[in-house]
Chain A
Amino acid sequence: MNPIYLEIAVVVLGLLLLAAESFAGPGRKSGIAHPAITGLILVFVATFWIDPLAMDVTAPYARFYSADFLAVFFKQLALLSTIVVLIMAQEYAPVVEASLPSSRRGAGLGEFYALPVFTCAGLMWMASAVDFVLIFVSLELVTISFYILVSYMRQDRGSLEAGVKFLVLGALSTGFLIYGITWIYGVTGQTNLHAIAAVIPALKHAAAPALLFGLGLVLVSLGFKVAAVPFQFWVPDVYQGAPTPITAFLSVASKAAGFVVLLRVLQAFVVVPYLQEKIMLLMAILAGITMVFGNLAAIPQSNLKRLLAYSSVAHAGYLLLGVASLGAPFAGMAVLFYLGAYLIMTLLAFLIMAVVSKTVGGDDIADFNGLNQRAPHLAFAMLLAMASLAGVPLTVGFLGKLFIFEAAFQQGHFVLIALGIVTVASGFYYYLKVVRAMYWQQPADPEAPEIPVGVAARLTIAILCALTIWLGVYPAPLLSLIR
């Protein structure tokens, strides 16, 4: 099957959902979540029949669009995270509804389910983009739908504040990106990454500063997307303010897409040694400061969303460490494996958080006090997520870190590894804070009612838990997906 039909299917699904949403009665708009989830699951299943070789490489669109294994893997990640985010959104709907203007209550939820589908299409295009033009367009599709989603809870100050911050900084990063692309185009005369890679070796040495400047600007913009230090400052506020499912979406899918673009762009530029040296040094420095800052800043957090925001910065650091070690044989695979692992455990953590905070009414760590007594299964699932995020062996998060550190070891990044060890230890500290709250503290109200969990959410939690352990012991299936 030709891979371009995947995105077309997702966009058509989104349009149909919007149409259905506008014809549905005011009380029934949230019903469109089911066809959205079902449709995306069908597309997800279809990705396994994609034959990257079936694409016609002479077709005009092949200049922009590539469907290699990397792209297919990221499409699967994007689809999977969108599906889980929609399930999470269903769980979280009452909270969103409560913060909509009262006249529109129950009527305004339709777009909350339809917009992530468009974001998903953008992410899938990003995975395939091999031309700066398509990179830019798909990135904007993703970002603009996120602007709306982040500030969706219109009567919630936090959500609005997050939306404005995200808008301003997103626009700024877009500016960097487009300006960088212009410089690169000015030097090379190309926007296609393959063509750029072909042109660079023939360039005069004098063109190098301009090229590096352009690339630097692009990297700044990507730094915003993947939340690398020092471009991370929007992360905590936006993550905290946005509706929880959207936060999960931002931290997983947006980061994954940022990394696929980063991998592709770097691939085009490391073709000559003097560029490669500089880029890898830059990546190593970024990795170091991101790991240290993300982990240290997470330690004092008392709000779980903010904690996960900084942890998302920290994980970007480990991923960058993998990117900085790309010279090692399995480094690319290590980065992809880490992204897959990160997706599973982060979605699990956010899903439980969405379920719990809907009932408890807050997402401070203190709100999880004594969760073990109220909902032992949820507490255990959260324990798994935290253990995996911290990197306890026999969970998928540990294997991710192991592969990354191994690649770094082979590349001789010993300083970074030492930093990594220290930061992993501090990671244990703040992730276990959540475990402590759930298992050691007494609940604020011992007679609190049970926490209701929907069937789909229950099933998803179970699947994600199983994946966390199963892939942590037997990583071969995920590794074979990455190839």
Chain B
Amino acid sequence: MSPLLSLILIPLVTAAFCMAGSAPRRISLFGAGANLLLTLYLLASYNLEIGGYQFVGGRLLAPFYGLAFSLGADGLSMVMLLLTTLVTLAAVWVTPPINRYAGMFYACLLLISAGAIGAFVSTDLFFFYAFHELALVPTFLLIGIWGSGERQRIAWKVTIYLATGSFVLLLGLIGIWLAVPAGLRTLDMRILQQLGVAGILSPGPAVYLLLLAGFGSLIALFPLHSWAPEAYASAPAPAAMLHAGVLKKFGLYGLLRLAVPIFPEEIQQFAGLLLILLLGNIIYVGFVTIAQKRLDLMLGYSSVMHMGYAFLGLVALNQIGLAGMSLMIVAHGLTIAALFALCGEIGSRWGTLEFAKLGGLAAGAPKLGLLFGFAAMASIGLPGFLSFPSEVLIFFGAFAQGVTGGFNIYQTSVAFALWGVVISAIYMLRAYRRIFWGGRGVAAVDGVGDVSCAVRWAVILLLAALLVTGFRPALLLDYINPVFDYFAP
């Protein structure tokens, strides 16, 4: 069987141990660390010269429907695995002492991780979908049991939103499946992609719109985004890290996997609509982000806002833009995870996340201030961090689209979207100033101490990954580029 199966099984088994036994923190740290090491090993042993899907294995489950449990990873999956295992380790690491059902808390985190990994390495359409759904249940429990604020109402809202989105998505997937010519009917995504690229499989605009609405509500595409900020604000920090950092990326990954090869004409046909919506994400949600008065809500909105860039890469529909979108997934995942980890630390130490009550924290907690500063720079997209090459590639890709036709909608949208960088600089730097500099807020009492050891190293791990890949994006692009070779000029 494929070594990828152990990537799914390790967190599942670890979760089972957490539920059953004692010392859940140690066990889950061990499981998450083992998974990261295994992923690094697989990354190293992935043969870049051959490319394509490797480590494949599978088993036929329901012959009538062609349903099979089959695993395999290409360059894009490998990069997603790296993101998932990095963020999982960080999320487990930063988990503060849990006083109620600690075992279940860690088990939920690991289940989300297992679901995300399963979705990223499944080559069967059914399991691709099912693994993601599997990860939604622990999200519901994490917000509902350990969340803050109006946790129950919010857990409710998130679940209804995501469940509806998932079912719309499911319809889109069924639509794709039914559009396959009868003799070739299969649930194997590799074959579906090939059929799509070859032009044999074209389910039509209705199915594309279903897919876009389904994935869109999972990714928080404007105007389907209202669940996300509240959910991230209420969720405990590790859950927000895993959901915003990894699980939400499932939607983008799905668009890259299915929409790009199968619906290229439809993406161009509806490019105008998507450009307006993604500008809604970047500009409208950007302004909403600036207006936030609490750090957790601000981070939630900022994560919604950044999804606009990812959609810009999709709509560009060329190798540069799509590679940028893939980098964006990783860059944003690592950045937002680091920010939520620090946000959770601030909240648990000073008891509030309101800008008005915080201030001058850097005097007592310089290391925390430094780490937050780095993470904020990464979020803005400063050169040196992975966010920078990803945004550059996306902007270049989108600008290059249809460049012969004068200044068209793509270039106009890029011109607007570039302002997003300014907007994110405004809210991030303002947040940084209001929390760490300036006069002391009412909550900034003495003797709280600096960032805890666990959070410090977890965030350093994430930031180091961002810096290394930021200085040398080819580390990831070598894996990603061949996936979109069929768009190569």
Digit string of A195-220 for contact with B (CB within 8 Å is 1, else 0)?
Answer: 00000000000000000000000000
Asked whether B167 lies within 8 Å of A387 as measured between CB atoms, the reply is no
The winner among A390, A428, A436 for most chain B CB atoms within 10 A is A428
B interface residue count range (under 10 / 10 to 19 / 20 to 34 / 35 or more): 20 to 34
Given A439-B141, A439-B144, A473-B61 in contact, is the A432-B159 Cβ separation under 8 Å? Answer: yes
Asked whether A425 lies within 8 Å of B160 as measured between CB atoms, the reply is yes
Q: Whole-angstrom distance between the alpha carbons of A189 and B256 in the complex? A: 63
Q: Which B residues lie within 8 Å of A432 (CB)?
A: 140, 156, 159
Q: Which A residues lie within 8 Å of B126 (CB)?
A: 402
Of A41-49, A68-76, A283-291, A404-412, which stretch is located at the interface? A404-412
Is B343 at the interface (CB under 8 A from chain A)? no
Asked whether A421 lies within 8 Å of B164 as measured between CB atoms, the reply is yes
Asked whether A387 lies within 8 Å of B63 as measured between CB atoms, the reply is no
Q: Whole-angstrom distance between the alpha carbons of A108 and B152 in the complex? A: 46
Q: Whole-angstrom distance between the alpha carbons of A393 and B156 in the complex? A: 18
Asked whether A409 lies within 8 Å of B171 as measured between CB atoms, the reply is yes
The winner among A402, A405, A474 for most chain B CB atoms within 10 A is A402
Distance in angstroms from B57 CB to nearest chain A CB is 16
Distance in angstroms from B194 CB to nearest chain A CB is 23
Distance in angstroms from A482 CB to nearest chain B CB is 10
Distance in angstroms from B484 CB to nearest chain A CB is 29
Of B40-48, B128-136, B304-312, which stretch is located at the interface? B128-136
Partner of B133, one of A393, A410, A429, A479: A393
Given A394-B133, A405-B170, A409-B175 in contact, is the A429-B164 Cβ separation under 8 Å? Answer: no
Residue of B at shortest CB range from A475? B62
Given A387-B137, A393-B134 in contact, is the A428-B61 Cβ separation under 8 Å? Answer: no
Is A233 at the interface (CB under 8 A from chain B)? no
Digit string of A333-345 for contact with B (CB within 8 Å is 1, else 0)?
Answer: 1000000000000
Asked whether A393 lies within 8 Å of B129 as measured between CB atoms, the reply is yes
Distance in angstroms from A386 CB to nearest chain B CB is 11
Asked whether A330 lies within 8 Å of B163 as measured between CB atoms, the reply is no
Is A268 at the interface (CB under 8 A from chain B)? no
Asked whether A330 lies within 8 Å of B156 as measured between CB atoms, the reply is no
Residue of A at shortest CB range from B151? A440
Is B90 at the interface (CB under 8 A from chain A)? no
Residue of A at shortest CB range from B147? A440
Asked whether A410 lies within 8 Å of B163 as measured between CB atoms, the reply is no
Is B168 at the interface (CB under 8 A from chain A)? yes
Q: Which A residues lie within 8 Å of B178 (CB)?
A: 406, 409-410
Given A417-B171, A421-B168, A424-B167 in contact, is the A394-B134 Cβ separation under 8 Å? Answer: yes
Distance in angstroms from A110 CB to nearest chain B CB is 42
Is B145 at the interface (CB under 8 A from chain A)? yes
Is B37 at the interface (CB under 8 A from chain A)? no
Q: Which A residues lie within 8 Å of B474 (CB)?
A: none
Q: Whole-angstrom distance between the alpha carbons of A424 and B174 in the complex? A: 16
Q: Which B residues lie within 8 Å of A417 (CB)?
A: 171
Q: Which A residues lie within 8 Å of B61 (CB)?
A: 473-476
Residue of A at shortest CB range from B173? A402
Asked whether B145 lies within 8 Å of A440 as measured between CB atoms, the reply is yes
Is A112 at the interface (CB under 8 A from chain B)? no
Q: Which B residues lie within 8 Å of A436 (CB)?
A: 144, 152
Residue of A at shortest CB range from B63? A476
Asked whether B133 lies within 8 Å of A428 as measured between CB atoms, the reply is no
Asked whether B152 lies within 8 Å of A425 as measured between CB atoms, the reply is no
Q: Whole-angstrom distance between the alpha carbons of A474 and B129 in the complex? A: 15
Digit string of A435-449 for contact with B (CB within 8 Å is 1, else 0)?
Answer: 010011000000000
Asked whether B152 lies within 8 Å of A440 as measured between CB atoms, the reply is yes
Q: Whole-angstrom distance between the alpha carbons of A112 and B472 in the complex? A: 75
Distance in angstroms from B112 CB to nearest chain A CB is 14
Q: Whole-angstrom distance between the alpha carbons of A121 and B131 in the complex? A: 42
Residue of A at shortest CB range from B144? A440
The winner among A424, A425, A436 for most chain B CB atoms within 10 A is A425
Q: Which A residues lie within 8 Å of B137 (CB)?
A: 387, 392
The residues in A between 374 and 401 inclusive whose CB is less than 8 angstroms from any CB of B are 387, 390, 392-394, 398
Distance in angstroms from B165 CB to nearest chain A CB is 9
Partner of A479, one of B64, B160, B168, B175: B64
Q: Which B residues lie within 8 Å of A403 (CB)?
A: 65
Q: Which B residues lie within 8 Å of A405 (CB)?
A: 170-171, 174
Asked whether B130 lies within 8 Å of A393 as measured between CB atoms, the reply is yes
Q: Whole-angstrom distance between the alpha carbons of A410 and B63 in the complex? A: 19
Digit string of A447-483 for contact with B (CB within 8 Å is 1, else 0)?
Answer: 0000000000000000000000000011110010000
Given A405-B170, A417-B171, A436-B152 in contact, is the A398-B130 Cβ separation under 8 Å? Answer: yes
Q: Which A residues lie within 8 Å of B160 (CB)?
A: 425, 428-429
Q: Which A residues lie within 8 Å of B140 (CB)?
A: 432
Asked whether A429 lies within 8 Å of B156 as measured between CB atoms, the reply is yes
The residues in B between 440 and 465 inclusive whose CB is less than 8 angstroms from any CB of A are none
Asked whether A428 lies within 8 Å of B159 as measured between CB atoms, the reply is yes
Q: Which A residues lie within 8 Å of B145 (CB)?
A: 439-440
Q: Which A residues lie within 8 Å of B177 (CB)?
A: 406
Asked whether A425 lies within 8 Å of B163 as measured between CB atoms, the reply is yes
Given A387-B137, A436-B152, A475-B62 in contact, is the A394-B174 Cβ separation under 8 Å? Answer: no
Q: Whole-angstrom distance between the alpha carbons of A424 and B141 in the complex? A: 19
Asked whether B62 lies within 8 Å of A476 as measured between CB atoms, the reply is yes
Q: Whole-angstrom distance between the alpha carbons of A421 and B171 in the complex? A: 9
Asked whether A479 lies within 8 Å of B167 as measured between CB atoms, the reply is no
Residue of A at shortest CB range from B167? A421
Q: A394-B134, A409-B175, A440-B145 are in contact. List 20 more A-B contacts (CB 8 A).
A: A392-B134, A393-B134, A398-B130, A402-B126, A402-B170, A406-B177, A406-B178, A422-B164, A424-B167, A425-B167, A428-B163, A429-B159, A436-B144, A436-B152, A473-B69, A475-B61, A475-B62, A475-B67, A476-B62, A479-B62
Q: Can you list 20 A-B contacts (CB < 8 A)? A: A330-B64, A390-B163, A392-B137, A398-B130, A402-B126, A405-B170, A405-B171, A405-B174, A409-B178, A421-B164, A421-B167, A425-B163, A425-B167, A428-B160, A428-B163, A436-B152, A439-B141, A439-B145, A479-B62, A479-B64
